[in-house]
Chains A and B, each alone.
Chain A
Amino acid sequence: MGKINRRTFCGVTLGAGVLANVSKLNAAPAASVAGSPDAGSPDAPHIIDTNVSLGQWPFRHLKYEGPKALGDKLRKHRIRQAWAGSFEGLFHKNLDAVNAALTADCKSYGGNFFQPFGTVNLAWHDWQEDLRRCHEVYKMKGIRIFPSYQTFDLTHEDFPKLVNETAKRGLILQIVGDMEDSRNHHPIVLARDFSYAPLIPLLKQNPGAKVQLLYWNHRVSAKLMDDFIDNTKVLFDTARIESAGGIDALLDGNKNQKTRVFSFGGMERTLSEIPWGRSSRPVPAERLAFGSHAPFFPVEANLLKLFESDLTLEQSKAIMESNAGKLVTT
């Protein structure tokens, strides 16, 4: 399988200039990409961004806040669909109002570009009703939960019910590990610790459940990653995979990283001792889906991370679009 000329890809996708081998991707000239949203050949590869947020982040103004600014920005980078959660879902008590506003925001941009992913909080007694409305009233394709902000963890007695119910309804369940690096937390934020590990036995019992982890990297050790790969069909987003080339490092099982010594927590550690999700075994490309965490992170950061990884065309297409697409349609 031929490797993509990643700088060509960057040139096309980021609008940085037209380079050679554009025809390989059948992509439009950069000038037209940069000049108008959604420009380019219909055959050119596109991206489904599985991790964006609408609404207001309370602790700083984000440049591409809101459906118009964010949608236009994402479309300039060949993103054809974005799965949008709501920042307000982390903080508000009345989640139905948040989900209704998110749906209206997504609709306001038009063209089904934004797919709303509502919020459910197991700490509230009527979470089943919020889930029902997400599915039946707002016609959402999935929901997003934020255990570190929502005062429950995955050992909560209702969590198995949530997994069952989302699976029964064919909804995608996105579980957010973090929203930002804990070193940058606002002093008043008391985000809680939780583990993804209780998910594994539940997903063994529910093989049809459609689960994606977002910003998972600080909560998934190498061993847990191996367990997820071996025993579940969980999809991982790319938002917080560290370093340029980080994606292909995951795909090849970090074979070039095994002897590297990292400085972490003030100590020198080997790869297996650091907790940000570098699997000790190769992760199949079918288990990753593009997620930018925009507008909190610049979307370009994740595009660069993708294109600076040495991927085959098939791997790139899988991560950019088809893995997420399959999750919706299966």
Chain B
Amino acid sequence: MWIDINAYTGNWPYKQLCNSTLAGLVSRMDRFGIDKAVVASLSGIHYKNTQPANEELYGELKSQTGYTERIIPFAVINPAYPGWEQDLKKCIAKGFRGVRIYPQYHDYVPEDPGCTELVRICREEGLITALTIRMVDSRQRSWLDIPHVAGTSVGEWTLRNFMPLVRAVPDAPYFVLNIANGLAVDQADLPLLKKANILFDTSGRSLGFMPDVLRQYPAEKFAFGSHSPILDYVTGMLRIESLRPDEAGERDKELMRSGNALRFLKRHG
């Protein structure tokens, strides 16, 4: 069984994307044998008011029978936008199982009080908070995209940028998605990172050499994620499937294919 913990439906302003609808995503899931996917609205990242994007996703979800069994909706919430608490309540009532936040795009930092409050509410409501390190490689970004560009003084974000949030709400469950620019954190944060309730997806460039990563962190910390439709569907799968028996046993592979995601979603989502 395979579960994708990092997929989207909707539009990305800077590029035409294939399979950017729920129907497109499901056809891709069928093609590659994926049973379930955690899905959020890509449009919500750029909407000032993210709630219409969550409603669009919900509408798509209800548009065909069978979607609700396979699609696990996550809401895009902007804690810097007035009324986000109401949006969150509405999403919880509609059955959303987690929240995705985008501080880089919504112009706040994770340690802002609104953001930590959001994560606390999510923890209390049994929702997972998903943190996305980056959406696109900044070297290919549009000139209108956010100014977080590798090699400049602003720079792309890394896991370090989210650590103040993990420190503030250490017992909340997190997905950390599309990890680029390494898994490194400050030495003082390392024990917290290892102990925290975090699941990393396999879509990020920093997981390019999984055997090394698995020597640092146990297989229980990882789950298949595609970052579809921005990234291709199979790279995240191949990072698991290509592991040799001496690098990861069948049990570990099964945990990364779906076991860890199921455990997380059952306990928290």
A residues sitting closer than 8 Å to B (CB atoms) are 56, 58-61, 88, 90-94, 97-98, 101, 149, 151, 186-190
Query: Are B107 and A188 within 8 A (Cβ)?
Result: yes
Can you list 14 A-B contacts with CB-CB less than 8 angstroms, sorted by A residue number?
Answer: A58-B11, A58-B13, A58-B43, A58-B46, A58-B47, A59-B47, A60-B49, A88-B13, A92-B15, A98-B16, A149-B144, A151-B143, A186-B46, A188-B145
Is B14 a contact of A93 with CB atoms below 8 Å? Answer: yes
Nearest 6 pairs of A and B residues by beta carbon: A58-B13, A58-B46, A61-B52, A91-B13, A56-B11, A187-B107
Main SS of chain A's interface residues? loop
Q: Which residues does chain A contribute within 8 Å of B15, judged by CB atoms?
A: 92-94
Q: Is B105 an interface residue (CB 8 A)?
A: yes
Known pairs A59-B47, A93-B142 / 4 extra A-B pairs, C-beta < 8 Å: A56-B43, A59-B48, A187-B107, A188-B144
Chain A residues, Cβ within 8 Å of B16: 88, 92, 94, 97-98, 101
A6 to B81: give the CA distance in the assembly, Å.
42
Residues of chain B within 8 A of A60, CB atoms compared: 47-49, 52
B146 within 8 A of A: yes
Nearest chain A residue, comparing its CB with the CB of B51: A61
Chain A proximity mask over B87-111: 1 for CB below 8 Å, otherwise 0:
0000000000000000001010000
- Residue B56 interfacial (CB < 8 Å): yes
Best-surrounded residue of A56, A61, A98, A149 (most CB of chain B within 10 A): A61
B19-58 vs A: 1/0 string, CB under 8 Å? Answer: 0000000000000000000000001001111001100100
- Alpha-carbon gap, A189 to B53, bound state (A): 19
- CB pair A188–B142 under 8 Å, yes or no, is no
In the complex, which of the residues B47, B53, B105, B144 has the most CB atoms of chain A within 10 Å of its own CB atom?
B144
Once the chains bind, are A92 and B14 in contact (CB under 8 Å)? Answer: yes
Chain A minimum-CB-distance residue to B146: A188
Contacts of B49 in A (CB 8 A): 60
A93–B143 Cα distance when bound, in Å, is 10
Residues of B within 8 A of A59 (CB): 46-48
In the complex, which residue of chain A has the Cβ closest to the Cβ of B49?
A60
User: How long is the Cα–Cα vector from A61 to B11 in the complex, in angstroms?
Assistant: 11
- Chain A residues near B11: list those with CB within 8 A: 56, 58
Residues of chain A within 8 A (CB-CB) of B43 are 56, 58, 61
- What distance in Å separates the Cβ of B268 from its nearest Cβ neighbour in chain A? 30
Q: Which residues of B contact A187 (CB under 8 A)?
A: 107
Which of chain B's residues has its CB closest to A55's CB?
B11
Asked if residues B144 and A189 are in contact (CB atoms below 8 Å), the reply is yes
Bound state CA distance, A90 and B16, in angstroms?
A: 13
Q: Which residues of B contact A149 (CB under 8 A)?
A: 144
Complex partner residue of B144 from A97, A101, A190, CB under 8 angstroms:
A190
Let me know if A186 and B52 touch, CB within 8 A: no
On whether the beta carbons of A61 and B53 are closer than 8 Å, the reply is: yes
- Within the complex, the shortest CB–CB distance from B269 to chain A, in Å, comes to 26
> Chain A nearest CB: distance from B10 CB in Å?
9
Whole-angstrom distance between the alpha carbons of A97 and B49 in the complex? 29
CA distance A217 to B106 in the complex (A): 30
In the complex the two chains form, what is the Cα distance from A17 to B146 in whole Å? 49
Q: In the bound complex, what is the Cα–Cα distance between A88 and B20 (angstroms)?
A: 15
Residues of chain A within 8 A of B47, CB atoms compared: 58-61
Expressed in whole angstroms, the Cα–Cα distance for A61 and B50 within the complex equals 10
Residues from chain B with a CB closer than 8 A to the CB of A61 are: 43, 47, 52-53, 56
Residues of A within 8 A of B53 (CB): 61
Tell me the nearest residue of chain A to B53, going by C-beta: A61
Residue of A nearest to B12 (CB): A58
Assess whether A91 is in contact with B142, with CB atoms less than 8 Å apart. yes
Chain A residue, CB-CB nearest to B16 = A97
Give chain A residues whose Cβ lies under 8 Å from the Cβ of B145: 188
C-alpha gap A129/B204 in the complex (Å): 36
Q: B143 to chain A: which residues have CB within 8 Å?
A: 151
Q: Which residues of A contact B142 (CB under 8 A)?
A: 91-93
The smallest C-beta distance from A150 to any residue of chain B, in angstroms, reads 9
Bound form: Cα–Cα A149–B11 in Å: 19
If A56-B43, A91-B144, A93-B142 touch, does A186 touch B14 (CB 8 Å cutoff)? no
How far, in angstroms, from A107 to B145 measured CA to CA in the complex?
31
Whole-angstrom distance between the Cβ of B231 and the nearest chain A Cβ: 18
Q: Specify which chain B residues have a CB less than 8 angstroms from the CB of A90 in the assembled complex.
A: 144
Residue of A nearest to B15 (CB): A92
Q: How far is the CB of A53 from chain B (nearest CB, A)?
A: 14
**B74-128: which have CB < 8 Å to A?**
105, 107
